[in-house]
Amino acid sequence: MATSLKNLSSYDPDSIPDCSEYKFGIVVSEWNEMITAALAQGCVDTLLRQGANNNNIRVQTVPGSFELPLGGQFFFESTDVDAVILIGCVIQGETKHFDFICQAVAQGCMELGMKYNKPSIFGLLTTNNLQQAIDRSGGIHGNKGDEAAITAIKMVDLRKKSRDA
Ligand code: DLZ
């Protein structure tokens, strides 16, 4: 699990499938906005760098990370996106709120993908403090938004190949 062993932004561009026809819905939490904006920017930039069409990328904000799975469900229900990417940042506080939110988003993200049989990508930072979040949103450990974008492309492509087989 140690992020220090893997930079979140490192990948081999040549190994990433063509995504020029794929459609992505990105849901971004407004909590810890400085961090989530950087994650979302990294995600969009990576999709574009890998060849995604700007018109095929939709971004929607939700109030907090707890609302991310429902935001993703709205995308699947009302648009033809191939994948949703849920982006948020939950920072450990003094209460149990952290545990409840992280657990709910992880469970909701997984269930969303299963329900619609389409990739639902977990782009949630769950950190002990702000510095850890900064380090993973374009800092020394890279950007989790980049990782989420690459995961989305790979999973949409895997679904397509599975259906074509
Ligand atoms: C309430 C709350 C707290 C304490 N912390 C965070 C956080 O660190 N990151 C985040 O994305 N959202 C937080 N929230 C808001 C909840 O996700 C949610 O929006 C509210 O509980 C309303 O459902």
Residues in a beta bridge with 91:
127
Measured CA distances, 144 to 44, 162, 165 (Å): 12, 27, 31
Structural domains of the chain, with CATH: 21-164 (3.40.50.960)
Q: How far apart are CA 141 and CA 10, in angstroms?
A: 10
Residues 6 or more apart in contact with residue 151 via CB below 8 angstroms: 119, 121
Residues in a beta bridge with 26:
59, 85
Mutational test site, ligand 1, from 27, 29, 30, 31, max ligand atoms within 8 Å of CB: 31
Separation of 155 CA from ligand 1 center, angstroms? 28
Say what the pTM is: 0.96
Active site residue 97: yes
Cβ–Cβ < 8 Å for 46, 8: no
In order along its 165 residues, the chain shows pLDDT tens digits of 666 678 999 999 899 999 999 999 999 999 999 999 999 999 999 999 999 999 999 999 999 999 999 999 999 999 999 999 999 999 997 778 899 999 999 999 999 999 999 999 999 999 999 999 999 999 999 999 999 999 999 999 999 999 988
Among 49, 97, 115, 161, the one annotated catalytic:
97
